[in-house]
Structure formats: C-alpha cells, structure tokens
Structure 1
Amino acid sequence: MTTLVTGATGNTGRHVVEELVRRGEHVRALTRDPVAAADRLPAGVELVTGTHTEPEKMDAALEGVDRLHITVTSGLAEVGPELVRRAVDAGVRRLTVVWGGYVGPVEQAVADSGVEWTRLEPQEFMSNTLTWSESIRAEGVVREPYDMPSALVHEADIGAVAAVALLDDGHHGRSYNLTGPEALTSRQRIAALSRATGREISFVPITHEQAIERLLATGVPRADAEYVIGWYAEPGEDATTVVDTVEKVTGRPARTFAQWVTEYAGRF
C-alpha cells in the first residue's frame, strides 16, 4: 500500500514521512523541490514533484495511493475540496488532515468525503519558537505582545499521531486535540532557552499593533496577521489546557519543550 504525504518537507509533513518509514510503509512524498527534499527525507521515500494547492496537476501523484495526509496551509482553502474529491476518485480510502486552526472548507470536505478520515487539531507548534531565533542571536531578546500560557506540541508528536491514524484501524471520524505535556508562557520558554544556550535572554513587551505590523512586514495578509495575534491575545481554553491525546493514541507520553529545545538549541 502507498501513502501520499503532502507538504512532505514542512514542519509536520516530514515527521509524518519519518514515522511511516519507521513503520516500514511505502511513502510517496509530494514536494516542490525533490532534489532538496532528498537531503531532508529518509532514504527509500518516493519523491514526486508538485504542490497540494494545484490538485489539477496531481493525478500522477495520486495514482495507486491508498492513504493521503494533508496539512492545511495558506492558499489551500479554495482548492482543498477539489484535492479531496480527486483523491477519493483516484482510490484513496483513508485521509488524515492537520487543520488550519478551525474547521474550514478543507477540513469539512475531508469529513464529508465518504472515506475513513481523522482530523488532527494541534495547538501551538513548538517550532513557532524558532521565530525568536534571529533576535536572540542578534540581541539576546524576545519581543512579544503577550505572555500567555500555551500547551505547545512537538511537531514529531503530530507526525506520530498521523501515522497511527493512517495505518491503524479505529480512528475514523475522530478529531484529535493535540498538546504537549505542559502549558508554558513565553517567559518560561525563554528561561528554558537560556538554560540550554547558556546565555541571558530578555523578554521585551511590544504592543498588539506592533506584533501585527511585524507579521505584515513578512508578507502575511492582514486578516491572517490579525487572526494570529488575536489568538495570542485570547488563546482560548483548548490552547492552554493540557490533554493526553498523544499518549492515548501513540502509547507514549508527549515530548516536552525541554526535549525540543535540546534538539534545536543550535538555532539560537
């Protein structure tokens, strides 16, 4: 059987690929740049050129695929339902989808697909911490508008849960809220980074609008920027409450932020 992973070199996609390969599965990885992907993904992965935001060009990639993993990214909302339809028409019988923060057109199309599906609803990715790396390296500071707790989840745990849902029975129709084992504020995360890097890192508050302007400067549309910073202002109960879904699904505890920091300390 063949599993197609879209966004195969992304934050979560590469972990899905690695988990599937670890379990001995044949994986087809969809990527814009197969040459670069070959250096980032395990040996034996079948690399195909493409992007899930162009489903009309994915017929060859979907040929012979039994299972499909989708990560909802920018630009997918408009074409995602077409991707799901083409996948089902091509013979895909099991779908996993990493949501975009809410149940939008893609997530709904997966739920209405008529085949087995599982929706993964991770809270904040631990890898979001990498957005601090430049200012930490240059100045030893982190600038954020809020210091709210967040039940951060390791991207590898998202990949592990996706692999279980793709390969094992009993996950059809489930929506899995995914968190790490603790909720940490920005200051607590900074303290962990300070310990790992051996350097003093300061927290510098900025305004809500300054945070939005910072995202706009990177090319993020205003609506998306306002949504993201609004989430940090009022993250909601799910974003701050630890749940044990990762352990229940995979059989092992969720990875800690300290583990993540150990893996990525060199980036700071």
Structure 2
Amino acid sequence: MTILVTGATGNMGVPLVRELCRLGREPRVTTRNARRANSLLPEGVEIVEGDLREPEFLDRALRGVDKLFLFLEAGDPSRVLRAAGRSGVPYVVLVTSLLAETRPRSFVGRLALETERVMREGGFRGTVLRPWEYASNTFAWARDIREDDVVRQPSGGLPSPVIAPEDVAAVAARALVENHDGRTYALTGPAEVTAGDKVRALGAALGRELSFQETADPDLMEKIRTSPEEVAESFGVCFMESPGVRSTVRDITGRPPRSFTEWAEDHAESFK
C-alpha cells in the first residue's frame, strides 16, 4: 500500500511520517527540498522532490497512491484533490479547520467547507480532521523572544484549546492505517490557554522570565471585537470564542493530547 504525505517537512508532516514509520509503513512524501527532507525524515521514506502546483509533478507523485494525506495549507488543495481523483486515489485524509464548524462564514471556514465539498463530490473514501489553533503558531513570537524577552499582541485574547501539530499527526496516522472512513473529527488540545499563559509556559521552558505586553491599538481592538475573523490571518483564532475542549485525540490514539507546556518544553530550542 502506498501512502502519500504532502507537506512532509512541516510541523505536522515530520511527526506524521515518523509515526507512520513507527507503525510499520514507509510512505512516499512530497517536498520542494529533498535535502531538507532527508535530514528530517527516517530512512526508507520515498522522497519525491517538486512543486504540487506543477501538474506534471503532481501526476507523478500521485501515481499508484492508495491513500493521500492533504492539508488545507498545501496550496490549492481542491486542485490536488481533483488530480487525485483523475489518478484513481481512493482514500484521503484531509486536514481543514475547526472554523468550518465554529465560523463557517469566515474566510478559512468557507475554504475548509469548500475543500471538504470537493472531497465528498470527488467520491473519495476517507476522513476529515478539523484542528483548532496550532501550538506552533507561537513560532511567530520567536524573534521577539530572542531579541528582548517580550511578546507583543493587541490583547491577551480569549482562552483557546491550542493543539500540538504532533497530536494532529497522531490522529492522521491512525486514520491512514485504520478504518475511519466517513468520519469528521474536531481536534483540540487538553486545556484552554491565553496568550499570557503561552508566554509564561515558554519562559519556563527557556528558563527565562518573559513578559507579555498588550499593544492596545484602538482601531485593531475594535476590529477584533466586531470581526475577529478579519484579523485571523495575522493573529490566528485566539480572538474567537473557544470551541471547547474535545476528547478526540484521546479517543483515537488512547492517550491525552500534549498540553501547551509540554509542547513548549519539546520546542524550546526554536525560541533560543
């Protein structure tokens, strides 16, 4: 059985490939940088270098594939799905966004629902994963933390059950090797945290005292209050109401999802 993983060198792709290998599968992966993929991924993985936006490369990568892992940020995922249909790929694990449920009229919510519609109408078997905010979004703070130990945001935001990409990958791996056909799973972390909570957790992981500073831009604060989805591209979903903590990661994998504190400890080097 050939499993194709797109985005294999990303925050979700690397742990997914490693988990598939641990489960006895050696997937094919796509990447635009084979040297980087070789440095990050286990031996035995078939690496196909190229750009998914190029039709010839896409057709070559999909040839003979039984199961496809695809996520919303892959760059025109609907086009990839249509190409997968032409190549006869029968099964897809698609990662979209929980905004499809909580904010279906937002840009990301609409894109998620449209991509899911293309998957359904393409006749694929498979599973849809809808994660909430990724813990890895805080990598955007790394420069500020390195320079002056201060994270600046418009406000502390609302409590948000952030999820580690590794936990999305763990569920995706199960969906690729087990039968989860026709299921749609909402994925969150184990607890709701604010921006201030994240900064404190990162400081503890680094052994330094970090501070959180609200910039309190009145125009931006008004936009956050009235149309938080409009600022989501810059600041994520932390200004939107929480979807609540969901038990899906534990239900599927048999273990609890990582807390933000655990994720920060695992990735402290990225903030040094």
TM-score range, shorter chain: 0.7 to 0.9
Aligned residue in 1 for 2:61: 61
Matches within 5 A, 1:121-136: 121-136=130-145
- Contact 1:151/1:179 (<8 A) preserved: yes
Equivalent residue runs for 1:66-145 within 5 Å: 66-73=66-73, 75-76=75-76, 80-100=77-97, 101-102=108-109, 103-145=112-154
1:252 pairs with 2:228: no
Contact 2:161 2:189 in 1 (8 A): yes
What letter corresponds to residue 16 of structure 1 in structure 2?
A: L
Question: Once structures 1 and 2 are overlaid, which stretch shifts more, 48-57 or 189-198?
Answer: 48-57
RMSD value, Cα: 2.2
Q: Report how many aligned residue pairs link the two structures.
A: 251
The answer for the alignment partner of 2:4 in structure 1 is 4
Q: Is 1:17 paired with 2:13?
A: no
How far the C-alpha of 1:84 sits from its partner, in A, is 1.2
What are the ranges of 5 or more consecutive residues in structure 1 without an aligned counterpart?
213-223
Q: In structure 2, which of residues 220, 232, 241 is the aligned counterpart of residue 236 of structure 1?
A: 241
- The equivalences for 1:189-208 within 5 A come to 189-207=198-216
After TM superposition, the score normalised by the length of structure 2 is 0.85
Q: CA deviation at 1:175?
A: 1.5
Q: Call closer, same or farther: CA 1:157–1:105 in 2, change over 3 Å.
A: same
Structure 1 pair 38–132 and aligned structure 2 pair: CA distance change class (3 A): same
Check conservation: 2:52, 2:58, Cα contact below 8 A. Answer: yes
Q: Is 1:262 equivalent to 2:265 in the alignment?
A: yes
Following superposition, the deviation at residue 139 of structure 1 comes to 0.5
Q: Which moved more, 1:160-169 or 1:87-96?
A: 87-96
Query: How high is the sequence identity, in percent, across the aligned residues?
Result: 39
8 Å CA contact 1:211–1:229 kept in 2: the answer is: no
What is the letter of the counterpart of residue 182 of structure 1?
Answer: A
Give the deviation of 1:210 after TM superposition: 8.6
Residue of structure 1 equivalent to 2:48: 48
Gaps of 5+ in 2: 98-107, 222-228
Provide, for residues 88-119 of structure 1, a one-character-per-residue CA deviation record: whole Å limited to 9, x for no partner.
23231110111154224322211222121211
1:155 aligns with 2:155: no
Contact residue 151 and residue 182 of structure 1 kept, 8 A: yes
CA gap of 1:186–1:44, structure 2 versus 1, over 3 A, is same
CA distance in 1, matches of 2:115, 2:8: 18
- Secondary structure, in 3 states, of the residue corresponding to 1:20? helix
Structure 1 210/196 Cα, relative in aligned 2: closer, same or farther at 3 Å? Answer: farther
Shift, 1:140, TM fit: 0.8
1:12, distance to aligned residue in structure 2 (A)? 1.1
Asked whether the 8 Å contact 2:19–2:173 carries over to 1, the reply is yes
C-alpha separation in 2, matches of 1:178 and 1:233: 16
Distance 1:156 1:230, change over 3 A: closer
Per-residue CA distance 1:47-102 (angstroms, 9 max, x = gap): 001233334531111111100000111741xxx33321221232311101111542
Q: 1:208 to 1:49 in 2, by over 3 A?
A: farther
Give the match's secondary structure for 1:192: helix
Compared CA separation, residues 117 and 208, structure 1 to 2 (3 A)? farther
Q: Distance in 2 between matches of 1:237 and 1:178?
A: 12
**Distance change (3 Å), C-alpha of 1:61 and 1:182:** same
SS in 2 for 1:181: coil
Q: 1:99/1:56 Cα in 2 relative to 1: closer, same or farther (>3 Å)?
A: farther
- Mapped to 1, the partners of 2:154 and 2:197 lie a distance apart of 15
Q: Equivalents in 1 of 2:237, 2:154: separation in Å?
A: 8
Taking the aligned partners of 2:177 and 2:160, their CA distance within structure 1 comes to 30
Is this contact kept in 1: 2:160–2:242, CA < 8 A? no
- Choose 202-211 or 189-198, whichever is displaced more: 202-211
